[in-house]
Amino acid sequence: MPTAVTKPEAIAPSLSANAQGLGIPDDLPGLDASKLLINCSDKLKELPPPEKLVFGQTMTDHMLIMDYSPESGWSAPVIKPYAPLELDPACSVFHYTPALFEGMKAFLDPSGQPRLFRPDLNMRRMSTSADRVALPHFDENELLKLIRQLVHLEARWIPNIQGYSLYIRPTMIGTRPAIGVAASTHACLYVICSPTGPYFPTGYKPVSLWAEQDAVRSWPGGTGAYKLGINYAPCFKPQREAARKGYQQILWILGENQQITEVGQMNFFVVFKREDGDWDVVTPALDGTILPGVTRDSVLSLIRADKASSPLANFSHKLHAHERTLTLPEVKQLADEGRLVESFGVGTAAIICPIGRIGYQDKSTGTTSEIQFPEYKSGLGPLSTALMESIVAIQEGRVEFEGWSVPC
Ligand X SMILES: *Cc1c(COP(=O)(O)O)cnc(C)c1O
**Residues forming the site for ligand X (CB under 6 A):** 103, 227, 262, 265-267, 291, 293-296, 347-348
Q: Compute the radius of gyration of the chain from its Cα atoms.
A: 22
| Residue 199 or 374 having the CB closest to ligand X | 199
| Residue 195 or 347 having the CB closest to ligand X | 347
CB 155 within 8 A of CB 132: no
Task: Find the shortest distance in angstroms from Cβ 234 to ligand X.
Answer: 12
CB 228 within 8 A of CB 99: yes
| Residue 60 or 267 having the CB closest to ligand X | 267
Indicate left, alpha or beta for 294 from its phi (over 0: left) and psi (-120 to 50: alpha). alpha
User: Would you give the DSSP letter of residue 25?
Assistant: P
Task: Find the shortest distance in angstroms from Cβ 261 to ligand X.
Answer: 9
Distance between CA atoms of residues 189 and 142, nearest Å: 13
Distance between CA atoms of residues 329 and 335, nearest Å: 10
For the chain, the residue count is 408
Distance between CA atoms of residues 398 and 113, nearest Å: 12
Task: Find the shortest distance in angstroms from Cβ 255 to ligand X.
Answer: 18
Task: Find the shortest distance in angstroms from Cβ 291 to ligand X.
Answer: 4
CB 77 within 8 A of CB 36: yes
| Residue 127 or 348 having the CB closest to ligand X | 348
Task: Find the shortest distance in angstroms from Cβ 227 to ligand X.
Answer: 5
Distance between CA atoms of residues 258 and 278, nearest Å: 26
Q: From residue 275, how far is each of 280, 325, 335, 402 by CA, in Å?
A: 10, 20, 15, 33
| Residue 33 or 300 having the CB closest to ligand X | 300
DSSP string for residues in 49-103: PGGG--TTT---SEEEEEEEETTTEEPPPEEEE-------TTBHHHHT--EEE--
Task: Find the shortest distance in angstroms from Cβ 226 to ligand X.
Answer: 9
| Residue 79 or 290 having the CB closest to ligand X | 290
The CB-nearest residue to ligand X is 293
Distance between CA atoms of residues 217 and 231, nearest Å: 7
Task: Find the shortest distance in angstroms from Cβ 116 to ligand X.
Answer: 13
Task: Find the shortest distance in angstroms from Cβ 387 to ligand X.
Answer: 13
Task: Find the shortest distance in angstroms from Cβ 296 to ligand X.
Answer: 6
| Residue 74 or 252 having the CB closest to ligand X | 252
| Residue 267 or 390 having the CB closest to ligand X | 267
Distance between CA atoms of residues 12 and 202, nearest Å: 36
| Residue 228 or 335 having the CB closest to ligand X | 228
- DSSP 3-state assignment of 359? strand
- DSSP 3-state assignment of 393? helix
DSSP string for residues in 92-103: HHHHT--EEE--
Task: Find the shortest distance in angstroms from Cβ 231 to ligand X.
Answer: 7
Task: Find the shortest distance in angstroms from Cβ 352 to ligand X.
Answer: 10
| Residue 124 or 137 having the CB closest to ligand X | 124
Paired strand residues for 212: 252
Distance between CA atoms of residues 361 and 88, nearest Å: 46
For residue 76, with 0-12 CB atoms within 10 Å meaning exposed, 13-18 middle and 19 or more buried, which class applies?
middle
Contacts of residue 6, Cβ cutoff 8 Å, sequence gap at least 6: 121, 297, 301
| Residue 102 or 142 having the CB closest to ligand X | 102
